[in-house]
Structure 1
Amino acid sequence: MTALFNFQSALLVLLLLVCTCAYCHQLFPALMDRKKESPLWGPLWKCARVGERLSPYVSICCVIFAVRLFIGA
């Protein structure tokens, strides 16, 4: 089953995208800020903003998913 048809997997992919974009924005802020209007970089820039502004909630979601994967539920 692909991640598009499984709700938990889709949430995990979205969470990993937000975390990755926030990390890349921290490393290369000028690159992402300069291209935030483009069709490819725009959504990635928005994911980075969500990751930066909601970082406590994103961290809690990461911990919840890690515990669920560790338990195997």
Structure 2
Amino acid sequence: MQAALFNFQSLLMVMLLLICTCAYAHSIFPGIMDRNKDGAFGIFWKFARIGERLSPYVSLCCVAMAVSLLIQ
């Protein structure tokens, strides 16, 4: 995981995966994530909110990331 922080493309991939995973988990278990809006686990609620509100842009970024990985 730490190596992903030094490579920009890997960092973007980790961020996209976190956003997608948190948005999916929030749709399945909304009560658990809504209870933890504050504190250390609040970051996951924020990622879920980004995934819900910006879902068309997040999906375009996921497609762009997949295409860029295929090209390499």
Q: Name the residue aligned to 1:50.
A: 50
How many residues matched? 71
Q: Name the residue aligned to 2:36.
A: 35
Q: Name the residue aligned to 1:4.
A: 5
Q: Name the residue aligned to 1:71.
A: 71
Q: Name the residue aligned to 2:25.
A: 24
Show structure 1 runs of 5+ residues with no match.
none
Show structure 2 runs of 5+ residues with no match.
none
Give the TM-score normalised by the residue count of structure 2: 0.91
Considering only aligned residues, what root-mean-square deviation do their CA atoms show, in Å?
1.3
Letter in 2 for 1:37: D
Report how far residue 38 of structure 1 moved: 2.8
Q: Name the residue aligned to 1:15.
A: 16
Q: Deviations over 1:24-72 (max 9, x none)?
A: 0011001100121232x20000000000000000000000001111222
Give the TM-score normalised by the residue count of structure 1: 0.90
Partner SS state of residue 4, structure 2? coil
